[in-house]
Amino acid sequence: MINKGKKEKRSVGQKAAVLIATGFGAGYLPKAPGTWGSLWGILAAALINSVPWIGSIFLMMFLAVIGVWSSNMAIGHFGQEDPGQVVIDEVAGMALTLWWIPMNVISITIGFFLFRALDIFKPFPVRQIESYFNGGTGIVMDDLAAGLLANVILHSLGYLNVW
């Protein structure tokens, strides 16, 4: 349910969800909040890539689920279907971009710009995925699709010994 500016008392869970959805405040930054969220995604990727593969699968799934949940809560908080302040989708998409990629300056830089370009321009099938889902799922899924596409490209570049 969208809150059209009504002042309501927020529960601790709602406040936590908005804090998570906004990337701990990065979504409130005045210029390019999605870019700031993507930077948080690099840190998330470093954490996720530092655990054994089964743990990294669990952490990626957890990040996606917490992203959908917090985005749904943020929709009600901000009173918009896709609030600009929500950047958890960029965090998850960037983390997926760098998932199981060697973390070095070259791969992170290429991955960052590749993910941002795919997230902004939304080539096929990213735009189609965005339009298929709604709510928090729609907010997160297109970024995960962009992240998956970027990850495949990065893995291909790795096989070509780009880094």
Q: What is the DSSP letter of 26?
A: G
Q: For residue 12, what are its two tokens?
A: 């601790």
pTM across the whole model: 0.91
What value does the mean pLDDT take over residues 62-77?
Answer: 97
pLDDT tens-digit series, residues 84-122: 999 999 999 999 999 999 999 999 999 999 999 999 999
- Banded model confidence at residue 160, pLDDT cuts 50, 70, 90: confident
pLDDT tens-digit series, residues 123-143: 999 999 988 999 999 999 999
Q: Compute the radius of gyration of the chain from its Cα atoms.
A: 16
Burial per residue of 127-140, b for 16 or more beta-carbon CB atoms within 10 angstroms, e otherwise:
eebbeeeeebbbbb
Mean pLDDT of the chain: 93
Q: For residue 129, what are its two tokens?
A: 């995925």
> Is residue 71 scored above 90 in pLDDT?
yes
Which is nearest to 140 in space by CA: 70, 83, 81, 68?
A: 68
Count of CB atoms situated within 10 Å of the CB of 108: 20
| Residue 162: per-residue pLDDT | 75
Q: Is 161 exposed, middle or buried (0-12, 13-18, 19+ CB in 10 A)?
A: exposed
User: What Å distances lie between residue 16 and 21, 24, 62, 130, 133, CA to CA?
Assistant: 8, 9, 16, 25, 24
In contact, 6 and 61? CB cutoff 8 Å: no
